[in-house]
């Protein structure tokens, strides 16, 4: 089940977020455009997605699945939810950034039709970041 995060989800999200990004926990303080959703399985939170819908464009900030539950289509369902929300909200496109060596992420995004749009050299501790975009208009 995918649902909005609530305050009691804070500890587990904090744990997941630290594994993903050492910069610190700010998922709950990203402002009015930010959406934070969790994936719950047997009453346990096993993943989350954080994305922003800013007027006519959407941005995927984080997607994460607990290691024990990977390769079960959970990220697929979370990203599908995000894209549907963006389409419903009238967004023209959705963008994201991923480390050049993150094969799981790259493959997930390519599966959803994201295309490489630009390289941000040395963005991730010396490794390149790849900016990806997917158009959301019906005829594209
Ligand atoms: C990337 C991540 C979210 C994928 O989660 P997941 O639930 O295991 O992914 P899914 O089972 O939904 O897989 C959907 C598709 O993603 C791709 N994928 C997922 N894991 C993969 C892997 N280890 N290697 C290659 N492709 C992978 C595949 O295209 C897969 O489709 P397929 O099963 O038909 O081959 C997960 O590995 C993760 O949390 N990684 C750490 C955080 C991270 O890197 N997030 C993205 C960075 S922006």
- pLDDT tens for the chain, 140 residues long, are 999 999 899 889 988 888 776 655 667 777 778 899 999 999 999 999 999 999 999 999 999 999 999 999 999 999 999 999 999 999 999 999 999 999 999 999 999 999 999 999 988 888 999 999 999 976 54
Q: How far apart are CA 88 and CA 72, in angstroms?
A: 26
Opening angle at CA 119, ends 115 and 121, nearest 5: 160
Q: How far apart are CA 111 and CA 53, in angstroms?
A: 21
Domain 2-135 has CATH 3.40.630.30: yes
Q: Per the structure block, which two tokens stand in for 83?
A: 């894209």
Ligand 1 lining (C-beta closer than 6 Å):
20, 63-65, 70-76, 98, 102-105, 107-108, 111
Looking at residue 23, its pLDDT comes to 58
Q: How many C-beta neighbours within 10 Å does residue 5 have?
A: 19
Q: Which ligand 1 atom sits nearest the alpha carbon of residue 78?
A: 12
Q: How far is CA 100 from the centre of its chain?
A: 16
pTM flag (> 0.85):
yes
* Pocket perturbation via mutation, ligand 1, pick of 104, 110, 113, 132 by most ligand atoms within 8 A of CB: 104
Q: Closest Cα partner for 12 from 34, 28, 33?
A: 28
């Amino acid at each position: 089940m995918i649902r909005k995060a609530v305050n009691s989800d804070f500890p587990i999200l904090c744990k997941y977020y630290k594994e993903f990004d050492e910069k610190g926990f700010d998922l709950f303080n990203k402002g009015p455009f930010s959406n934070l959703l969790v994936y719950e399985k047997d009453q346990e939170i096993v993943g989350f997605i954080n994305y922003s819908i800013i007027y006519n464009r959407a941005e995927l900030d984080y997607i994460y699945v607990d290691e024990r539950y990977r390769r079960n289509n959970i990220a697929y369902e979370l990203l599908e939810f995000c894209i549907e929300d963006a389409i419903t909200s009238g967004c023209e496109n959705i963008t994201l950034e991923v480390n050049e060596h993150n094969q799981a992420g790259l493959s997930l995004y390519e599966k959803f039709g994201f295309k490489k749009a630009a390289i941000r050299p040395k963005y991730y501790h010396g490794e390149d970041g790849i900016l990806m975009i997917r158009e959301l208009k019906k005829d594209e």
